[in-house]
Structure 1
């Protein structure tokens, strides 16, 4: 099974770099701020450069592939399913329910998605439509609900400003614009401007993975027993149910086969994005719930992606 072998090799590459970050944290290399520095630099500088470099070279009509339909509806259905399950079993408040729904549907298209798309799917541009979709649709909707449930009012100004605080989205949109200009006029950035951007972008994936490895040092998840059923439900929805829904939509509704079907299901099995914890922290709701859901789905995601590789590749 070449696909499974490729997936295992990809996980090996990713795992080694994560392990280097973990060992660095244990040895106190970089000091207590090492993880934060790597995260912030990759978030604000390297990753936007990477997405710009990738998307500007990608043909404009291939960026927004019809597979985005699968990504959107599989995420939306999983989020709705968590809301229903909460209503039946967990009975959490509206704000915590929103965090749980985001935990279930929000894909880690940056920290894990970029390495997975690069080393397993062989095309990092595959995460771009998901990133744009999440920042343009799911984030504003989630923040609107959190505004209403925690403040009792909607701050339309703050919600409208959200894209301006997302360097990844800005880098992606600029890359898409340049791709469109290139398709229309044939003009592209001269090499002396493009090459440094690409060089900086190439540092994004290793920094992201090492920062994640650092974050694992000293972590003790699942300490609150009352939250465990909801956290386990989030992980099951994210890592099992969402890929199944993605497969059904991709295979039976969209008619995808081969590499496209494989990519849809693998990307649906990505763990929860760390943005959810940032949103929880901003509104001071569901902090432990968000953190543990992200960690559990991140630790179990490779197992399910390996199973997907064995079945579909």
Structure 2
């Protein structure tokens, strides 16, 4: 019970930071470009530093834990389900459908996943496989599709160059490389006078993303676009209900996980959609309200389903 209360406190902290962003926008602090600047800084500077800082200290065995297969295939499954439902019912255009897929499968592994892994699961390193999976696989694919669909063209050269345009992926891979070299040489290869500034910049990523998200709420009404409501509700159900069920089935029957590992797989699958999805939507100026409302709904409902999972499996 104490761990569950601590996790709910984590949700409260996140909500307060989002509210600060909303108030700042309402009071016009930072001017009309504040949200745009925060999104750009977090996407290109702070978030890559955060990924590097987290992964550089992780052991490769934790980063590539077998639970990554559960996270990958459960996320892939809900993404495919959304595409099928979109083809049958929603008929969203390709960029918006891509945002819908990311809304369905992208886990908030940083600002919600880390406190939940710490307070409920007792091991913050459990989110490392999710970080790697999302930044090395789903993010490059999603942003490649957004590149192609917003620019109206795609080529092999564009796809091959895509990783060079993904600061988050670059930060992730550099962090893994440093982790590997640290283990090989037996000491930290990056000196503190270089590592500390990276850590300081990385620490600003989550607040900037959350405040930018809060700023996006000012002057708009959630779920105002009636045509998107069915799709928004669908992505929230896929994210908070269907994905944990698939994760349980894969973890229990396919991977043979039991006890804490099984519990961790299901709880982490119930994390809400990451604010990064809104960051990507803002980067390409597509599906902004869809991304925002999907994140908001899944974030509000996620604690309920995590509490249910904790009550059943813990």
TM-score range, shorter chain: 0.7 to 0.9
Distance 2:146 2:215 in 1: 30
When normalised by structure 1's length, the TM-score is: 0.83
Structure 2 counterpart of 1:10 = 10
Matches of 2:162 and 2:236, distance apart in 1: 27
Partner of residue 186, structure 1: 186
**Alpha-carbon distance in 1 for matches of 2:198, 2:281:** 32
Q: Which whole-Å CA distance do the structure 2 matches of 1:249 and 1:181 have between them?
A: 33
Counterparts of 1:1-313 in structure 2, within 5 Å, are 1-92=1-92, 96-110=96-110, 112-113=112-113, 116-117=116-117, 124-142=124-142, 154-187=154-187, 188-276=189-277, 286=287, 288-313=289-314
TM-score by length of 2: 0.83
Let me know the Cα RMSD of the aligned residues: 3.1
CA distance in 2, matches of 1:29, 1:300: 30
Separation of aligned partners in 2, 1:85 and 1:244: 18
Q: Distance in 1 between matches of 2:141 and 2:129?
A: 18
Alpha-carbon deviation of 1:19?
2.7
* TM superposition shift of 1:61: 1.6
- Per-residue CA deviation, residues 238-278 of structure 1 (Å, 9 max, x unaligned), is 12111221122223322334443333223322333455456
Sort the Cα spacing of 1:2 and 1:259 in 2 relative to 1 into closer, same or farther, 3 A: farther
- Give the C-alpha shift of residue 73 in structure 1: 0.5
Whether the aligned pair in 1 keeps the contact of 2:240 and 2:272 (CA below 8 Å) is yes
Paired residues, number: 313
1:291 CA displacement: 4.1
Q: Is the 8 A contact 1:128 1:172 kept in 2?
A: no
Distance 1:138 1:17, change over 3 A: closer
